[in-house]
Amino acid sequence: MSKPSTVPRRFRHALLGTPLVLGLGLLGLAIGCRSDQVAHYRVPKEAASVHPDHADHADHAEEAMPMPGGMPAGQDPAANVPPPPAPKGALKWSLPKGWSELPGGGMRFATFKAPFQGKVEATVVVLPGPAGGELANVNRWRGQIGLPAMDEASLAKARATVKSRAGAVSVYDFTSEGQAKSRMVTGTIATPDGNTWFLKLNGDADPVAKAKPDFMTILGSLHLD
């Protein structure tokens, strides 16, 4: 027969609960250590710096894009762009006395310098296909000198035609409103190779008026290779 325990009852309950308390303490310690391990991650700097609201903005992509040839930011890239190659079936022209032709650059195929004082210049641009259409281009030119857009009926009334050996040239003549008037005379012709040629005389109204007769002569001299 076993000997009765001499441990008082109140201490006996405390001793019985000790293993449970110790077990819970060890379990909590293990969980705490594990949570410390899970919480520590290294985030790459590049990934953290990309904001989803800015990732697809064109202006941000433009800022990040290096300039061609190591060109400093802020310098016009078109300034060093060589003239475009002559398309197949390129137009030819004859310049009046006193006019000179400068090499093209960027989108310009050629630039004509008129022998008149003041702000006046003639340019040649060639684009593939209809290049947006006649009405859209005319309204864009009108907008450049502060004039409102016109519709197809007004376009037909404003159009003049010059005959050349390369074909018919559509001519438009617009003058801005206000005291400091600008004037623009344009000639448009499509060539058999599918390109559209734009010859434009623009500048201040007075020197453009002096240069217009010569410019119309240039349009009439157009011919193919």
**Tokens 């004037």 map to which residue?**
183
- Which domains are present in the chain? 100-224 (3.40.1000.10)
pLDDT in tens, the chain (225 residues): 445 555 445 444 444 454 444 444 444 444 444 444 444 444 444 333 333 333 332 223 222 233 333 434 344 333 444 455 555 668 999 999 999 999 888 889 999 999 999 999 999 999 999 888 999 999 999 999 999 999 999 999 999 999 999 999 999 999 999 888 999 999 999 999 999 999 999 999 999 999 999 999 999 999 997
